[in-house]
Amino acid sequence: MSSSVPLLRAIDELSANPEQLAAVQESGHCVVLAGPGSGKTKTLTTAMARALAEDVADPRGVACITYNNECAIELETRLGRLGVATGDRAFMGTVHGFALSQVIAPYARCVPVGLTADFRVATRGESRAAVETAYAIAIGGIDDPHRRWSFASEKRRRDVDRSRPEWRGRNPGLATFVEAYESELRRQGLIDFDDMPLLAYRMIKEHAWIRDALRARFPVLFVDEYQDLGYALHELVLLLCFGGGIRLFAVGDADQSIYGFTGANPELLESLTARRDVRTIRLRFNYRSGGRIVRASLGALGEERDYREVAGAPEGELTFWSVPLGHCMQAQAVADTVIPKLVEKGIALDEVAVLYRAAYLGDKVALALKQAGIPFVRTDGNAIVRRSSRLARFIEDCARWVVGGWRNAEPRFGRLLGQALTLVYGRHASDHEEQRLSDQLMGFLQATIGFSGSTHEWLHRFDRELIAGWRASARNLEQEWDVCAEMIGNTDPARNLDIPLPHFAGRVEGTGRVSLSTLHSAKGREFDAVVMYGVNASDFPSERDKRSATSLREARRLFYVGVTRPRKELSLVFQEHHHSPWVIELYARSQG
């Protein structure tokens, strides 16, 4: 496959940055340490496209493992602009999706892993019931089984290789609990999400021919946001890349590791950079933020880094908003003062984000914005749309088509059909199945053009006319049909949550929507202006953060992630005489 014009143009654009160009052209194991705004995604997708064009002969391909489905969708979009369509030659998805679709589904029938031919992914309710059954068998007593399971689950994610002595040597009671839980799932023909990479690891480790088959199909493995992906992914990488002959290209930033509660550990990324057989490349230039924001971010992190703004970039602005009382009054100040001031400076509402530590704080901001008549969209735990869900994104895209996107093919029907086929049938559907699903989807979309009801009513109709039938015929093992029911609950008019369908679809004429997000959900995103709300001494750091040096360090990284989101302006809102101590460090560094 020869290099396409878009790819050649992308490589040429990187020539001004020697680190990016070196990463894209590297033909051995490579780890790219990419700070905020350093062009990480552009570097990753260009490297993938170049590998497919120059290093990997058709029909072989590459695999890219991402933190969540939202990241995968973004990478797929970027690759499409370089002339690469994901499919047989380019897998794009989470570590769970890779394990399920590339290892378990094709090979589980060939090796003894305890799965029935018709196994499926357990629902949340089935998993909880299996925990309770396993607790009664393995432990007993009157304690809360789910509280104990939180510890067992952590051990399960950490101790991936159960042939090592620490599996039984370190808290054997939890090991017994995990094994009883997995046995109960298998008895019912089920696996859960944490099972996926664990089973894949065991299958690959115990059967060299599976490792060979993966290398034959995917001679290069790309990993995005390595610091967030945890022990199972790391063990898979060691097995496939440093024991199985697959080339590794990993991108990450230990300073942005903020998912310790899911098992992520920045030391795993750092251990790769210490290997002699891995080339480490650090991207130093921040293309996103002005110099003052870049300097402030280092104050927020509390450590020195060799990051610099691009020559000629605006300095950027920092503003500090001291409010007399607590969270409610701070939310009111955001709605009544901070956001209007940003709009006066010419910043569009859809380029403004309000960031906070927890979803309940988002409730306070949402109420204040609603009272002020400022439209918003939430991407936190109380959002209508779960951003990491492919089904939720598909439903939102369908709403965009219905409320006006059909006029200019935005999104294209072909894209919607492709999403639906993947959701229902995985990657392979017959011509008859494709035609039938196409007719169903187009029939629904055309029937709801000009829909005069609310989002809640439209979602009910979507669930009744499409989801019900698709659920019954689906072959995709990674099902998430309950997401539609969640969205219906999240627009409940009885709780004053319902909104007009054009608002849900992001098509409110003449106005954009302010983004409300937790700091965790904002990672990887960027805006012209960011308002960090609730930057109080009791919130940054919280008492819980202070319990250990590890949790305090992660809280500091979380603060850093928020500070590095804006392109032009960062506004910090806090209680008068009660601001975070990190604000002082941030301010002092920004003046340097």
Binding residue numbers for ATP: 34-41
Got the DSSP string for 192-257?
-TTHHHHHHHHHHHH-HHHHHHHHHH-SEEEESSGGGSHHHHHHHHHHHHSSS--EEEEEE-GGG-
The neighbouring-strand residues paired with 317 are: 569
The neighbouring-strand residues paired with 282 are: 33
Report, in this order, helix, strand and coil percent for the chain, each rounded to 5. 55, 15, 30
Reported residue count of the chain is 592
Identify the H or E element spanning 487: helix 482-489
**Residues marked as binding?**
34-41
The pairing of beta strand 62-66 with beta strand 220-223: parallel
Task: Give the amino acid at 293.
Answer: I
Question: CA 315, CA 308: separation in Å to the nearest integer?
Answer: 12
8-state DSSP, 52: I
Residue 31 CA: distances (Å) to CA of 43, 151, 372:
12, 32, 47
- Read off the tokens for 409: 């093919």
Say if residues 248 and 29 touch (Cβ distance below 8 Å): yes
> What sign does the CA torsion over 426, 432, 436, 438 have?
positive
The residue behind tokens 């350093």 is 38
8-state DSSP, 282: E
Task: Give the amino acid at 418.
Answer: G
A 10 A CB-CB count for 392 gives: 21
Q: Which of 297, 260, 255 is nearest to 557 (CA)?
A: 255
The neighbouring-strand residues paired with 223 are: 65, 250
Say if residues 290 and 313 touch (Cβ distance below 8 Å): yes
Residue 286 CA: distances (Å) to CA of 61, 283, 317, 363, 520:
31, 8, 16, 33, 21
> What sign does the CA torsion over 252, 257, 261, 265 have?
positive
Question: CA 329, CA 365: separation in Å to the nearest integer?
Answer: 10
Q: Find the largest Cα–Cα distance for the chain.
A: 67
Q: Exposed, middle or buried: residue 279 (CB in 10 Å: 0-12, 13-18, 19+)?
A: middle
Task: Report the chain's C-alpha Rg in angstroms.
Answer: 24
Question: CA 368, CA 333: separation in Å to the nearest integer?
Answer: 9
Say if residues 232 and 201 touch (Cβ distance below 8 Å): yes
Question: CA 363, CA 227: separation in Å to the nearest integer?
Answer: 30
Question: CA 427, CA 410: separation in Å to the nearest integer?
Answer: 23
